[in-house]
Amino acid sequence: MSPFLNELGKKISTAGSNTVKAVSDMSQISKLKDSITDEQRRINSYYVQIGQQFFEKHPDAQEEPFLSICSYIKNSITLIENYERDIRAIQDIKICPECGAECKFSSIFCPSCGVPFQNVEPENLAPGYRCSNCGASLQEGALFCTECGQHVEQADPAAPRCINCGAVLQEDARFCSECGHVAA
């Protein structure tokens, strides 16, 4: 073979070896970066667990930054409870106080555990959803309940309302007493 072809073969072989090494290095780096990301996710999961355990043990923490963070968590929990309550109202269901099963609002007994509902008051639903007398669903703006004829108390239309849930705000309120949202 000619020296030129020998030299060209060596250069191609070296270039190929360098390319294989570079690809191998990139693959190892990618795997290591994935391992780093996995460990960071694991650490973040532990941080969340620590935070949750702290909140469960100290929901009324008085020092910052825990005071404001715990307050935000409490407000979010209240909002979630209100949203779930509103979903149940739309679906016309109630929760059994004995076993926690979902039941039709008109049920007299829980279909899961048999506890009687006769003495159970309707859930404390947002204004305008249920009649305070019989618990029947009400249409927005109704003056009387279509089931029992009870007069529906209407709030003053000029009264300030919560921008989140529509509840009437008390004078000088900083937070809505229904959903915990900051009063505007």
The domain limits of the chain are 1-57, 92-121
Report long-range pairs for 117-121 (Cβ below 8 Å, ≥24 apart): 120/94
Per DSSP, the residues of 46-102 read HHHHHHHHHHHH-TT--STTHHHHHHHHHHHHHHHHHHHHHHHHHHTEEE-TTT--E
The predicted-structure confidence for 147-178, as pLDDT tens digits, reads as follows 667 776 665 666 777 776 566 677 777 777 66
Query: What's the pLDDT score for residue 136?
Result: 66
pLDDT in tens, 27-56: 999 999 999 999 999 999 999 999 999 989
84 Cβ neighbours under 8 A, 6+ residues apart? none
- The 3 state secondary structure assigned to 115-133 is CECCCCCCCCCCCCCECCC
Average pLDDT over the chain reads 78
Phi, psi of 152 (to 5 degrees): -95, 125
CA distance 122 to 147: 15
pTM to 2 decimal places: 0.44
Tell me the Cα Rg of the chain.
32
Query: What is the rounded CA–CA span in Å between residue 101 and residue 117?
Result: 13
Query: Is residue 73 classed exposed, middle or buried when 0-12, 13-18 and 19+ CB atoms within 10 A define those classes?
Result: middle
Distance separating alpha carbons of residues 152 and 133, to the nearest angstrom: 9
d(CA 49, CA 27): 33
